[in-house]
Amino acid sequence: MASTTATLVAPKDRRGRVAARAAAPARRRVDRMYYVFLLPSLVLFTLSITLPAIIGILFSFTNSIGFGDWQFIGLINYVAAFSDPAILQSYLFTFGFAAVTVLLVNAVAFLLAVGLTSRIRGKTALRTIFVIPMVISGIVIAFVFNFLFSNSVPAFGQAIGAGWLSESILANPDLAWVAIVIVTAWQAIPGTLLIYIAGLLSIPGDVYEAADIDGAGKLAQLTRITLPLVAGYVVINIILGFKGFLNAYDIIVGLTGGGPGTSTRSIAMTIVTGFTGGDYAYQMANATIFFLITVVIALLQLGLTRGRNVL
């Protein structure tokens, strides 16, 4: 009797296993050639970025000056960094500068994108012209604008009798940041503009035709149709722009060198200056803190853009 039961159950069990295997998705085999091409990049990334970063984080717990003997000192560098006025001021300047710049860049880029996707003549040529700043080196742009702000603009102010234009804005500790915002925005707008153009071109024309039939004006179409449909692009541009502006360095070096005094010294400048000034371990602690902040921003970006499918 037992053998008969086993004989009856076995075929059913085999059919169940066969059905389960059929229902399970087939596992895609990865060609080994992919790993051959991936390995060199992985090795280079590890040796040039990952390994130095790990070593730097370890040294942030020491009193090393970049060479010679050193000792582990625990969290002393981190405690000192949180109470250092120079570091706190660099964070305040960098985050304030990034917030103002990202708002300016996105507002101007969005308006330009709306204009360059409308029915105007020569929009292809205009798109090419507006993209030019993106392909020029930041340090080159900074030196050019340094000359303009230091010489051309004051000369123009003296010629028209405008006292507020007669002095270089770069020499004013209260206004030098404005010059940095203007130059950074001038270079960053093209990249943001291209993303907005892609978003606007993805909107079906039927939507606007229906709005015209319903009697919606251009302003209503902009606020009730265009903006909601490109909201994903706005979020991505704001987060990527803010994260990028936190690393501001080359334009600041070429424009103000962090001055007057330390009024425009960014976090990146503070870290690099400390490396060359004998504060290696101390600034590595600062760099680690900055790294953790950027990781939080990256996670925020992933959370806000997940599922939007805009790029």
pLDDT of 39-89, one tens digit each? 888 999 899 888 988 998 999 999 888 788 888 998 999 999 998 999 999
Task: List where CATH 1.10.3720.10 sits in the chain.
Answer: 76-305
Residue 184 CA to residue 252 CA, distance in Å, equals 9
pTM of structure: 0.80
pLDDT digits (tens, 9 = 90+) for 97-151: 999 999 999 999 999 988 888 877 777 777 778 788 888 888 899 999 999 998 8
CA 37, 39, 40, 45 dihedral sign is positive
Which positions ≥6 away from 132 have C-beta within 8 Å? 190
pLDDT for position 26: 57
C-beta neighbour count of 292 within 10 angstroms: 10
In which residue are the tokens 């101007």 written? 108
Of the options 3.40.50.150, 3.30.450.20, 1.10.3720.10, 3.20.20.70, the CATH number for the domain spanning 76-305 = 1.10.3720.10
Write the DSSP symbol of residue 62: B
Q: How far apart are the first and last CA of the chain?
A: 65
